[in-house]
Homo-oligomer: A and B are copies of this chain.
């Protein structure tokens, strides 16, 4: 009677959701401060005061009919102009407001982009470990997902594996840097090699291969360069979200940027408009669009995450854990102390440590640790990690 695929997606509880429910139950049993929940990747620092100020100012000063009225489907022109100018100034890449399409956040940016470009038979490559919803979005858009594992020593791209995965059906590759779940930032060297390989493959197969840059963590980088992909590869489409940079994940606000270097870029942008329309995105939330216009270039105080990263990464590696060096986002990707990450997470639970096994990210034998918490919560959890590794020694 229903779409079985949609029913499955709505019924099957995700691992993270299960841990969330367990955490709630456990907290009620032993107390909030006794449970160390590292499962949820939600910003823990508030939006900057300027966001609140902008909301207040817009509500007092702007005509409510205009403030809460439909914007153009692609987004308010003034806001898109500011975003385009920011991109130009920040990354030195040509950008026009007619190349920016405002969206309801990163998920919408991705589904709209995928639905704009996918035809039956197309394949989309993701680099494991990867955000599990990529599979949901790509398959719903009609694509086959093709998983290529990153190399384990540093979680940069394994080019040999990628090279053999690209074929005549490859329509796009999704790149997420800083990465969820590893926190790794793809280096300039990686990005240059990626561009070279994609250009070579485009030539070989005589077709366009899109690089979809999923960039919600761009501003959460700690002292390293995050190469801006459109500057390296012509057929890059940027899927951006303000969820993490401005701590506004619930507000659903972001954009798609289709640079002029993209092959038939006006057509790609038009297909983006068509896809947005057919999926039911009439426009991005208007008040939040105007707020973004007022807060261009600002971020929450992300130094909090950097401090957490330093404390946590150093402490865990000192204890003897093997952790991928995270240069951004708010995740640590730590090798489980036994082959089965699920079994390891069960043992960790005895110490009230709630970690996410890496299997759902398409990579076995690791756990994701989200450190978007306050510093005190992290330092209080360290003895539990100490006790856990002792059990294995």
Contacts and interface: CB of A to CB of B under 8 A. Distances in A.
Interface of A: 1-3, 5-11, 42-47, 51-52, 55-56, 59, 63-65, 67-71, 104-105, 107-112, 115-119, 133, 136-137, 139-140, 207-208, 247-252, 263-264, 267-275, 277-289
B140 A6 contact: no
Contacts of A10: 116, 269-275, 277
B69 A108 contact: no
A9 B274 contact: yes
A286 to B, nearest CB: 3
A55 B44 CA distance: 22
A172 to B, nearest CB: 11
A285 B288 contact: yes
A305 to B, nearest CB: 14
Contact of A268 (B2, B270, B271): B2
Contacts of A65: 43-46, 247
A133 B278 CA distance: 8
A279 B280 contact: yes
B71 A46 contact: no
Nearest to A4: B119
Nearest to A109: B280
Nearest to A246: B68
Contacts of A64: 46-47, 51-52, 247
Contact of A3 (B118, B247, B250): B118
Given A1-B117, A116-B2, A278-B136, A68 B107 contact: no
Contacts of A278: 5-6, 9, 111, 136-137, 139-140
A45 B67 CA distance: 12
A264 to B, nearest CB: 7
Given A47-B68, A251-B287, A281-B104, A270 B7 contact: yes
Count of chain copies: 2
A115 B9 CA distance: 12
Nearest to A48: B64
Contacts of A277: 9-10, 133, 136
Contact of A285 (B11, B42, B252, B264): B252
Contacts of A55: 55, 59, 287
Contact of A108 (B117, B264, B280): B280
Contact of A279 (B11, B111, B251): B111
A275 B11 CA distance: 11
Contacts of A9: 273-275, 277-278
Given A44-B65, A65-B46, A286-B251, A271 B3 contact: yes
A38 B3 CA distance: 40
A43 B64 CA distance: 11
A287 B250 contact: yes
B271 A6 contact: yes
Nearest to A253: B285
Contacts of A283: 250, 252
A10 B46 CA distance: 37
A268 B108 CA distance: 23
B45 A247 contact: no
A108 B46 CA distance: 28
A232 to B, nearest CB: 21
B249 A70 contact: yes
A145 to B, nearest CB: 13
